[in-house]
Structure 1
Amino acid sequence: MTARVYLKPPWMQRHIANRLVPLFQRSMISRLTVKGRRSGRERTVPVAVLDHEGERYLVSYRGLSDWALNLSATSEGRLTNRGRAEDITVEEVPEADRPPLLAAYRERYNGMPTVAGVLHALPDPADHPVFRIHK
């Protein structure tokens, strides 16, 4: 079994920025709610939805995060943006198809404080679960 590759966000991001960013970056940040793979309890995290070539994607840019593991297990969740909620289903993008999506994610969200550094620290597309969103 290979080790889980994940760069845990610093305390300030987890406890302060993750709560404030959805309030101030509404055009960029949505909230993803997904059931826990073990607990079954709903968990909500801020995510940036990537629009690319007419499709929408969720990119776990920090690696194999809990939300990515949960989404992989359930294949469904709820996205909320600007007070509108949408139930979604997802499919995981194969590793071979991830490089152009990660490049698009980097280009779109490079201005966010941690994105460039994390993607530089984890350059392998296999380390980043990516999910294609379906309604």
Structure 2
Amino acid sequence: MSTHVKKPGWLTVNLLNRAVAGLTALGISVWGSRVLAVRGRKSGEWRTTPVNPLTLDGQQYLIAPRGHVQWTRNMRAVGGGELRLGKNVDVFTATEVADDDKVPLLRAYLKRWKAEVGVFFDGVGPESPDQDLRRIAPDHPVFHITVTN
């Protein structure tokens, strides 16, 4: 498995993520944003971060543009979490998508959010050939989520 991680800088952690999470907590979605809540794999405590869920062909996915970060490790360990928007909470289970199945998902994600997250995909964009998307697939965990509530 890839160990690819692009850690956020101070501006992202202290300003951008907090602003998006704050608006989302108030029920104001920024381009479809949600607050992802996942229990810590060691502590069992809720951990939260803003995310951009992808809906494609009626299915929902979470894609990690920054790679194998803490929320992806927690998701693998606990198998689900919550997507929050204001007082609305969707409880879900999650199944990791195999690298071979990620190409159309990564393409759709980049088509929707390239302006926001494109820098984390090493020059690969929505118009890139399948082979380039396959090359970066191991670096970006993808989870199929199923809402259970």
| Cα-to-partner distance string for 1:67-126 (whole Å, 9 max, x where unaligned) | 0100011011011014300111010001100111011100001122xx111112686101
Runs of 4+ in 1 over 3 A off after TM superposition: none
2:127 counterpart residue number: none
Q: Which moved more, 1:52-61 or 1:77-86?
A: 77-86
Residue equivalent to 1:19: 18
Choose which of 56, 62, 71 in structure 2 pairs with 1:67.
71
RMSD of aligned Cα (Å): 1.8
SS at match of 2:102: helix
Structure 2 residue identity aligned to 1:118 = F
Q: Distance in 2 between matches of 1:117 and 1:83?
A: 32
CA distance in 2, matches of 1:46, 1:126: 22
Match of 2:109 in 1: 105
Summarize the Cα distance change of 1:3–1:119 in structure 2 as closer, same or farther, 3 Å threshold.
closer
**Residues 81 and 39 (structure 1 numbering): CA distance in 2 closer, same or farther, change over 3 Å?**
same
Unaligned runs of 5+ in 2: 125-134
Partners of 1:3 and 1:86 in 2: how far apart? 29
Matches within 5 A, 1:1-135: 4-22=3-21, 23=23, 26=29, 27-112=31-116, 115-120=117-122, 124-135=136-147
The one-letter code sitting in structure 1 at the alignment partner of 2:99 is E
Q: TM-score, normalised by structure 1?
A: 0.90
Amino acid at match of 1:119: F
Point out where structure 1 has 5 or more consecutive residues left out of the alignment.
Answer: none
TM-score (norm 2): 0.82
Shift of 1:28: 1.8
